[in-house]
Structures are given as structure tokens and as C-alpha cells.
């Protein structure tokens, strides 16, 4: 349906390498069935040609997110921030129009957060993919968002530009504890 997502808690296949994890995001684009895929005979078969095309798409994502150095490494042994980046790459492999990011910086150190902000901005600017971000790091939200919806205990408080939301008295009351007025 044109929507891909990442999870707050990493949901990668730890026993597979980076390339394989990202390739798993291509599943909806693959036409070869399980049976014919299992018995593909070299690169000349339809399945072989399709595999090459999907690997080329994944290689572009690996280059885009600078994951070349971990392409063939098992993801279970990689640093947490790199795993989050691979999860983002797998979501991009779906070629979404809308990308849902659930706490993409949860558990990251400040350097990893800065890298993730960089990637998210590049996804917006270069790939022109709309992003719906759920995040508690307000600095990050304000740095990368065009529109912000502030929610307090499941109820919408306000919707607007980052500056409008930052200055909203109800937001200040809910998030900082300042009195209205």
C-alpha cells in the first residue's frame, strides 16, 4: 500500500547479514515464486535476472546509507546504531511513499542520533518520501519536522509548525509543566 515502517525495538533477522536483511524488504516486488526461486538455474533464468535487479536496488540503498562496510556481516553482532540503520534500509527497500518511523533514535547515543537525523533529512530531501515520525526527543522532532502534532496522554494538543508547537501554551503546560497564561 506504499507504506513501510521501522520499529522502536529492532526487528531484524540477527542470523542473516545486512544484504539479506535489506533484501527481505524487497519481497513485495519479487515476482518469482518460492518453487521457481528455489530451482533457479543461473543468472539467465527469470529468477536469476530478478535477483540481480533487486540486489542492484539494495546496493543503491547500501550506498545511500553508507552501509558498505557491513554488507556481508551478520546483523546480530553489529552495533545498535548500525542495526537501526539497517532496519531503516530494509524499510526503504519496500520503496514506500510514506515511511513510519517509531522512535528511530531510541537507545542511541548522541553521535548515532545525529547520523539518524542526517539520514532522515536525506530521505525527505533526496528520495522525496513522506515521513511520519513518533519520537520523544523534542530537539530531533523540531530539527527535522515540517509539521508537528503534540499529544498528551493520547489526546491531541496542537498541530502546527515546530515553532508554533513550541510556543503553544498547552504544549508548555503538558510537556514542561508551565502554567497557562
pLDDT in the model for residue 66: 93
Instruction: Count Cβ neighbours within 10 Å for each residue of 147-165 and write b for 16 or more, e otherwise.
Output: ebebeeeeeebbeeebeeb
pTM over the 0.85 mark: no
Domain boundaries, the chain: 3-135, 146-181
pLDDT in the model for residue 34: 47
Q: How confident is the model at residue 83 (pLDDT cuts 50, 70, 90)?
A: very high
pLDDT in the model for residue 2: 86
Render pLDDT for 19-75 as a digit per residue (tens, 0 to 9): 999 988 877 666 655 445 455 554 555 455 666 676 888 999 999 999 999 999 999
What is the average pLDDT score of the chain?
A: 85
Region 3-135: CATH code: 3.40.50.300
Amino acid at each position: 500500500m506504499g507504506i513501510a515502517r521501522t520499529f522502536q525495538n529492532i526487528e531484524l533477522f540477527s542470523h542473516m547479514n545486512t544484504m539479506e536483511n535489506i533484501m527481505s524488504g524487497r519481497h513485495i516486488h519479487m515476482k518469482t515464486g518460492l518453487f521457481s526461486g528455489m530451482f533457479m538455474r543461473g543468472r539467465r533464468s527469470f529468477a536469476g535476472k530478478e535477483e540481480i535487479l533487486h540486489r542492484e536496488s539494495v546496493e543503491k540503498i547500501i550506498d545511500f546509507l553508507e552501509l558498505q562496510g557491513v554488507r556481508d556481516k551478520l546483523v546480530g553482532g553489529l552495533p545498535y546504531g548500525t542495526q537501526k540503520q539497517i532496519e531503516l534500509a530494509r524499510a526503504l527497500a519496500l520503496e514506500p511513499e510514506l515511511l513510519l518511523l517509531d522512535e528511530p533514535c531510541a537507545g542511541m547515543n548522541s553521535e548515532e542520533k545525529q547520523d539518524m537525523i542526517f539520514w532522515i533529512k536525506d530521505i525527505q530531501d533526496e528520495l522525496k518520501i513522506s515521513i511520519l515520525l513518533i519520537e520523544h526527543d523534542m530537539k530531533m522532532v523540531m530539527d527535522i519536522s515540517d509539521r508537528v502534532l503534540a499529544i498528551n496522554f493520547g489526546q491531541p494538543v496542537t498541530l502546527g509548525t515546530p515553532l508554533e508547537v513550541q510556543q503553544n501554551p498547552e504544549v508548555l503546560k503538558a510537556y514542561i509543566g508551565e502554567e497557562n497564561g
